Structure 1
Amino acid sequence: MNDDDFDPPPEAPEPPPDDACCGSGCDPCIWDSYNALMTEYRAKLAAWELREAARQAAANGQ
């Protein structure tokens, strides 16, 4: 495997500390921002899983 083949899974964003939300109804709240990052992460992870499955199928001659 060369560097061009290196395709690590995406890293999940770190959740904010529980006390990061001030509770005053900020728009966006820090949790809104985190949820947006998680949505992006899930999409990237799904795409990576498809690439990984295709890569493994190709490696197994399928």
Structure 2
Amino acid sequence: MTSTDDTDPRPLPPEEPGPGECCDSGCDPCVWDFYNQELAHYRKELALWLARHPDAT
């Protein structure tokens, strides 16, 4: 892994809902809906970060 500027840390992925956090009753929104929104945001932020740090692995 390459050292990067501490003022621009690599984004961290969201934590996946744990066992039992989804009640499987069709809630709207579901914890999985929130997770998927956070995951999409993380992927965008990671792509931007990787563009700023092309030497990162």
Q: Give the equivalent residue in structure 1 for 2:42.
A: 41
1 or 2 for the larger relative contact order (CA 8 Å, sep ≥6)? 2
Q: TM-score, normalised by structure 1?
A: 0.74
Unaligned runs of 5+ in 1: 57-62
Percent identity of the aligned residues? 51
Find runs of 4+ consecutive structure 1 residues off by over 6 angstroms.
none
Give the CA deviation at 1:6: 2.7
User: Whose helix proportion is higher, 1 or 2?
Assistant: 1
RMSD over aligned Cα atoms = 1.6
Unaligned runs of 5+ in 2: none
Q: TM-score, normalised by structure 2?
A: 0.79
Count of residues in correspondence between the two structures: 51
| Structure label with greater radius of gyration | 1
